[in-house]
Structures are given as structure tokens and as C-alpha cells.
Structure 1
Amino acid sequence: MSAKTEKLLSVLKLQPVVPVLIIEDVAHAVPLARALVAGGLKAIEITMRTAAALDAIKAVANEVEGAVAGAGTILNAKHFEQAVAAGSQFIVSPGSTRGLLDAARDSDIPLLPGAVTSSEIMALKEEGYDVLKFFPAEQAGGANYIKSLSSPFAGTLFCPTGGISLKNAKDYLSLPNIVCVGGSWVAPKELVAAGDWAGITKLAAEACALRG
């Protein structure tokens, strides 16, 4: 196992659920991350889907004790480099491209690339990746699909994201080839907008307890 894979696993194994955040207002980043960390969710994926994303990553990386800030929805080498410069300690992509893999190869920051099909998994394994994102999980076949991958791809671990909630997370977490799941339900838009950080801490604690 490579040093970068070990580094990635050390992050993903911190908790059963990695929060997947879409932060519209950078002012929410620090109190939101603090609320999640207080509930036990230290590794936090901030997606590059908003203009505030890079500033949010920087704020969480610099100001939130105990948080491990990561960047998600990384689609190309430029995104990768921007996210690393902002302080990301892990990078998540829904898929992979040659440019993205080249950027990751030259960096000390680990990449969690996405794969769904057998061919995509095989291609990434050839590149040395044994820990993969599976997105969109529910829409692409769910827990049963990922379970079926465990035999032909023994030793490959997945972090599924997409359509996962408190209700079905245990279906995934019970599988031997799942390292953790990604979920947005721990930080609902309405609670973030209301500044209900105690409510988010409660949701984070419930998610943290999924793997008791």
C-alpha cells in the first residue's frame, strides 16, 4: 500500500460518514465545521460547486481545530491545484481524467477518484488506486451493486456518495468493501441557513454512531 493510500485511509477511517458540503456563504464555513467536529465528524468534504468553496476550505483548514478539510467535485488539474493551495488535506473527484491523475501523481495530497463500472475500477487500479469513490451510489445500483464488486475486486475499498441518508447508510456500512460513506444529510440547507449549529452537531453525532 502506498504512503498516499495510507494517508487517505487514515482520513476516511476517522468516521463512518464524511459530510459532503455545498457552502454558499463563506461565513457559514467555520461554525458549520465546528458543529460537525463537535459531533464527531472530523473529515469534511467541501465541494467545489460554489464561488465560496475555496475560501471555505481555507477558513476550515486554518481556523477549525480538529477538522480535516477536504475538497470535493474536483473535475480537473486546475481544481486540484487550487484546492491543495487552499489547504485541502484530501481531494475527492466523481470520476477521473488523465490530467487529474497527473496532477495527483505530482502531489503529496491523496486523491479519492470516482469509479462505477468495472472498466473504470480496473483502469484506476492500474494507476495504483485501491480506494475509490462510488457516485452516484443509489442511482448506480446501491449497496447490492457494491457488494457484487467485492469478489472480482478483492482489496478495493469504496466510499459511496449520492442518495445516502441515515435511513440506508447502514446497508452500505455493513459491507466489507466499504470504508465509509459520504452524505449531505448531516448539514441540511435549512439548518445551515438558520445557524442551527446545535442541530447539526446532533445529526453529526447520530451519523458518527452508525458504526458503533
Structure 2
Amino acid sequence: MNSHPHSSSTTSVRARARMVERLREEGVRDERVLRAMNQIPRHQFVQEALATRAYEDTSLPLGCQQTISQPYVVARMIELLGAGRELGRTLEVGTGCGYQAAVLACVAPEVYSVERIKALLDRAKENLRPLRLPNLRLKYADGSVGLIEAAPFDSIILAAAAPVIPKALLTQLAPGGRMVLPVGEIEQYLLLIERTPGGSFKETRYDPVRFVPLLTGTE
């Protein structure tokens, strides 16, 4: 008998259901997001030693000075991105372990996820392989410059905090599109940027957050 607490699928199914209930209590209302969070096995995306903590509302280390965001922040950001509309073609900057990309792929018809650290991208591919998500494409590149070959995007989400809003990402946001990102260095907060059909930008500030910094280049 395997003693690994999350080797039992029933254990992880129950833990996921509890996580989703907690997200509801914390104010996440978008049923598409809650369904996706219930569907994706978060314990398969964290280091095995941390698998028992996969459904706690906490960020966990991934190695390479990166973290997997706490479930509430993932749900909150995707909810802000989708609020009252379809996500359409979506760009994620910072694949990390692949967890948020998988959740996005359950909600959006087309997801491109970019990661600048090769070791992390390789691990994300391993993590994602069993899920067979045909609408998700991963790319090894510097996400701070976007992904020009797939632009424009209806939705853009960043998994790292930018000191200032990356200009390249604004130009790759389609009219009517939305971008959600953590902004700031010492004090960070979530920022929603909406591009009007006329092409101008509207910014709305949300919750304080704590993210690793957005870095440029690849490694």
C-alpha cells in the first residue's frame, strides 16, 4: 500500500472540493473558474515533498527562485480577466510549473504560455502531459516582450510582478481585451487593464499581492 497521502485520487478529489468551497467563501463567483480549479489536480504540479500541502491556500516554492501562486490569487486573476466575457485568445507570461496554464486552458479556447527558464518549462511540459490539453501551447522565450507571432490577444495574464507595465504587452492586447498583472516592487497590487474598442487603456487597481519579480531575457 502506498503511504503517499495524495497517491489516493479520492483524497485529492476531496481536497480539491474543499479548496473550491474555500474559494467560494473568499468571494470567487465565476463558476467557469471554480469548475476549472476543481478539475486540475494541483498536487501534480508541486514538488512531491509538498504534495500534501497542494490544496492549502498558500504559495509554494518551485525551485529556480520561483513559486506556484496560492489558489485564491490564481482564481482571482482569472476571474478578473474573464468577468462577464469570454477569454478568447489568451497569453500567460510565466508558465512556472504549468498549473495556471492548465486552469486557463479549461476556461479559454486558446492559450499560449511563455516561460524564460528552460528547466521550469521542461518540468511544466512533464506536469501537463497527462492532462492532454490540445488548446495549450508552451513557448521558451522572454515573456516580457509578449509573443508577437500569436498576437493580438484578447486576454493577457502575468505570473510575475512588473515594476512598470510592459509596453510590448499593451500593444499586443486586442481592442476590447483585458490584461491582469501584479505591479510594483516593494508594494505590489493587482492591476486590471482594459483596452477600449477605440484603443485607449483603462486601469483598475485591486488587491495587494506578493509575486516574484518579472525578469527579462531567457536562461
Instruction: Give me the TM-score of the superposition, normalised by structure 1.
Output: 0.34
More strand by share: 2
More helix by share: 1
Instruction: Give me the TM-score of the superposition, normalised by structure 2.
Output: 0.34
Higher relative contact order (CA 8 A, sep 6+): 1
